[in-house]
A and B are shown apart, each in its own frame.
Chain A
Amino acid sequence: MGVSSPYYRWPWYSLFRTTKGLLKHGVEVQFVVPKAYGDESEEAVRLVNASDVTVMINDPVFREYWNQITYMEIGSNLIPYVGPEDFQQMVSENTNIKVEESSRVFSERFQFSGKYGHDLMEEVARYALVGASIAANSEFDVIHAHDWLTYSAGVAAKKISGKPLVVHMHATEFDRSGENYNENIYEIERKGMVEADRVITVSNLTRNIVIDRYHIDPEKVITVHNAVEPPDQAELLDAEKHVREKIVTFLGRITFQKGPEYFIEAACKVLERDKNVRFVMAGTGDLMEKMIRRVAKLKISSHFHFTGFLKGENVDRMFAMSDVYVMPSVSEPFGISPLEAMRSNVPVVISKQSGVAEVLNHVMKVDFWDVDAMADAIYGLLHYQSINNMFITHGAEEVNNLKWESAARKVADVYESVLAK
């Protein structure tokens, strides 16, 4: 039984792929999501919409369990992904909501919003109840919970059913917030990993964080690297570039841990020597305005472009137009976007502080803070034909060898090891 929350693109994407892979290895998966949007592909995956699950709140088992769950106070927390202005607003609303909270959580059905918001912790707690309820009423062998939002549910399910729990770390609180991490979320993560029988991390980088910062027994932490979907058809995505210059792209959330500032500084260095380049920052995020101001301050706005949020085909089009892709992440648990870039025949520069750097050879790896090296790598890829060609041909090959089936196989192995105990 997999428990997830498809709030953001990547965890959902990788979960979906792993699930497909698991199915190929003969593992049946029941997927619990807080809110089914109705257009998820239901190929052989049984989706359970948590919003449809009825919880028998009067059942003493649940009452008892509920008493054991630490209920989070919202007012003192920094809600993830919410900027300071929104938070202020929430704090003022909070006082009104508190009274209603208990009764809402204990209603028979609960409408999960699927969003981050001021009722986030409430949703997490409720999700735990749902998890327990489903666990009581289904047949399964292993529980697999993904990221902190679902850990409580996973633990609840384990307690009710007695079945083993595998938790999956796609990103830790440190990856999201650096040293300004939220204590409550850290505790949920830690508790989930302590209670779990196995912890799967998406890279050795993340594994080391789990061991060093969360003090989890190394014996039970296993790395299973992510992968990327092979290209489906050999369709030529003929994105016409209407500018003559080369294009160097950053695609991701414009936020601290993605390292956008370093991209801008490197761009500035390159532009000092070579005006035949345009830099693109594709995405949005809490640092976007600051980055726009920085670009203006450096007087490179004429060669630096912000596209805003891209999704679907526009992402592919962006890759197709790019001559170099850069991922300067400060801390990236894995990082699938460089794989997508390589699959689109784009040479790639990535930070050494990323999980994906562990599985790739035909990329330029630089320390995220080493703006000189980053600029040098960008310049080299734009100017020296042989390395450009090598990255394109060998990169595509390398990416094709990273198959979800292998990742799924390793996950299935973890399930087996946990059941063998």
Chain B
Amino acid sequence: MRSVCLYFQVHQPFRLRTYRFFDIGSDHYYYDDYQNKRIVRRIASDCYLPANEVLLGLINEYGSAFKVTFSISGSALEQFAKYAPEVLESFKRLAKTGNVEFLAETYSHSLAGLNDPSEFKRQVEEHSAAIKKIFGFTPTAFRNTELVYSNSIAGQVLEMGYKTMLTEGAKQLLGWKSPNFLYCSAPHQRLKLLLRNYQLSDDITFRFSQQDWSEWPLTAEKYVAWLQNVDPKQELVNLFMDYETFGEHQKASTGIFGFLRAFPELLIKSGKWVFRTPGEVTEDLQPVASIDCPHAISWADEERDVTAWLGNDLQSEAFSSLYKVSEIMATCEDTELHRDWNYLQASDHFYYMCTKWFSDGVVHHYFNPYGTPYEAFLNYMNVLSDFLIRVNEYAENNTSAKPVKTSPKIKTPVTLKGNTEIAKSTTVKKVAKSKVAEAAKPAANAISKGKKK
């Protein structure tokens, strides 16, 4: 009997409103409530609710042969509570069946795992507390934001008490090996790893409705045949997907909901496969090899690395400015500051600043509120400036923690660019002598060389 591990990511960030530099210091509410509410309600009705119904149907029909896994971010939970409580009710019904595993992750879909171990830990603790509270479920398996993984992250996760982790079956990790086995981390062998089969997963999430795909239309029969054709020695197929695939990235009219119902049905009826949770998988199977990952990977883009969030200078500056106040925030009891500290860590903000696809002019992310990455950066930095001012004020009034340098220093060089880090300017001497009809006399004003104002 072979296993499919079916896992769905559920996340919505709190998107920022247009926040100008003159709001800094005066306006402390950063979120676009209208957009966030509109989007959540739309995805709820197009996506989460109908997809949950399909899964419930499968559970009711096939019982223990059909298990499914979710990772729901703390931000998503908050947005559901605020704007679409029926979604929470729907997930609770799923939880009650006992056929659903909820994973642990960072509360606000944060990338703290990459640079801030204590904040990473705090985020995970806050998240599992929320899962426990809402669903009565204690997570034992872990997945990081955007499946970001590295040896270092593996170590931190293991230390937090999790023995199982999900990540991407990236080529950098696997080389010639197949993702269809259980693995463990090379430096931390007690941590078991489930690696996403991106080929089979992306067939559903990306290619399902692409009419120029050689395999279009993808029927349940065809897909199940592919699974059946997987080498019988390979016991495990990990299908990890963004839950918005069902109804949003793949609209209902593509037949995606029918597919979601049909392919598990066919697979189960074949008698050769069952659907399992990560917890069950790690009990049943043995790791066949260890995986070494010195540099962080993710499930994003062709590169499967972290350049989508931290690949350019804008992202670096924003990211490092944010985490400067991590120490202060660790013990901060102000609820609003705490809320903002969570929301501002969402990886989405950095994603919007990505300049990788400039030449295509393609806006890569759904629901990206910004026209260009530069607008995204400026908006975020303005918000961050205000946030850092408030944090520093809090620090001065409450703890002995040292306030950090926040306001970007305005550099005032006396002589020009040659002396600063900014690149030297090359000359702009015109070759053509442009002739102009009038020759108005230049007004005698301050900027001419040598004159003082």
Contact = CB atoms under 8 A, between A and B. Distances in A.
Nearest to B318: A386
Q: Majority SS of interface residues in chain B?
A: loop
A64 to B, nearest CB: 34
Contacts of A365: 371-372
B414 A244 contact: yes
A268 B428 CA distance: 30
Contact of A308 (B372, B382, B410, B441): B441
A316 B428 contact: yes
B429 A235 contact: yes
B381 A361 contact: no
Contact of A305 (B316, B415, B441, B446): B446
Interface stretch (A100-108, A216-224, A269-277): A269-277
Contacts of B446: 243, 305
B358 interface: yes
A382 B436 contact: no
Given A269-B22, A386-B313, A233 B427 contact: yes
A266 B146 CA distance: 40
Contacts of A60: none
A238 B428 CA distance: 11
B423 interface: yes
A364 interface: yes
Contacts of B416: 238-241, 320-321
Nearest to A372: B20
Nearest to B434: A9
Contact of B374 (A237, A382, A387): A387
Contact of A13 (B375, B426, B434): B434
Interface in A343-369: 343-346, 361-362, 364-365
Interface stretch (A21-29, A37-45, A160-168, A408-416): A37-45
Interface string A374-404: 0111011011111111101100100000000
Contacts of B425: 236-237, 319-320, 344-346
Nearest to A249: B447
B374 A236 contact: no
B104 interface: no
A265 to B, nearest CB: 13
Interface residues on B, range: 35 or more
B417 A232 contact: no
Given A241-B415, A241-B416, A384-B381, A311 B436 contact: yes
B381 A305 contact: no
A191 interface: no
Nearest to B415: A240
A312 B449 contact: no
A376 B432 contact: no
Interface in B428-453: 428-443, 445-453
A88 interface: no
Contact of B431 (A232, A237, A238, A392): A232
Contacts of A345: 417, 422-426
A49 interface: no
A246 B442 contact: no
Contact of A231 (B378, B426, B441): B426
Interface in B227-271: none
A297 interface: no
Contacts of A37: 435
B16 interface: no
Contacts of A240: 415-416, 449
User: Most chain-B Cβ atoms within 10 A of its Cβ — which of A315, A321, A380, A392?
Assistant: A380
Given A321-B447, A361-B358, A380 B378 contact: yes
B31 to A, nearest CB: 18
A186 B6 CA distance: 66
A384 B377 contact: yes
Contact of B432 (A41, A273, A362): A41
B412 interface: yes
B433 A39 contact: yes
A389 B313 contact: yes
A389 B447 contact: no
A122 to B, nearest CB: 17
Contact of B442 (A242, A314, A321): A314
A247 B448 CA distance: 13
Interface in B72-120: none
B430 to A, nearest CB: 7
B175 interface: no
A40 B434 CA distance: 8
Contacts of A307: 442-443, 445, 447-448
Contacts of B422: 345, 388-389, 392
Contacts of A12: 432, 434-435
B20 A390 contact: no
Nearest to B361: A361
B432 A245 contact: no
A85 interface: no
B381 A380 contact: yes
B21 interface: yes
Interface in A62-101: none
A344 B427 CA distance: 7
A305 B416 CA distance: 19
B21 A379 contact: yes
B193 interface: no
A399 to B, nearest CB: 11
Nearest to A282: B447
B452 A242 contact: yes
A35 B82 CA distance: 73
User: Most chain-B Cβ atoms within 10 A of its Cβ — which of A313, A375, A387?
Assistant: A387
A377 B378 contact: yes
B445 A9 contact: no
Contacts of B428: 231, 237, 315-316, 319-320, 340, 343-344
A274 B447 contact: no
Contacts of B441: 308-309
B435 A385 contact: no
Nearest to B432: A16
Given A241-B414, A309-B442, A361-B358, 12 more contacts: A41-B431, A274-B410, A308-B441, A311-B434, A376-B21, A383-B21, A384-B377, A385-B408, A387-B313, A387-B314, A387-B378, A388-B422
9 contacts: A229-B430, A231-B426, A233-B429, A234-B426, A239-B449, A312-B433, A345-B417, A377-B378, A390-B312
Q: What are the 3 tightest A-B residue pairs by CB atom distance, in nearest-first order?
A: A308-B443, A235-B427, A386-B317
Interface of A: 6-9, 12-13, 16-17, 37, 39-41, 114-116, 229, 231-247, 269, 272-274, 276, 280, 284, 305-321, 340, 343-346, 361-362, 364-365, 372-373, 375-377, 379-380, 382-390, 392-393, 396
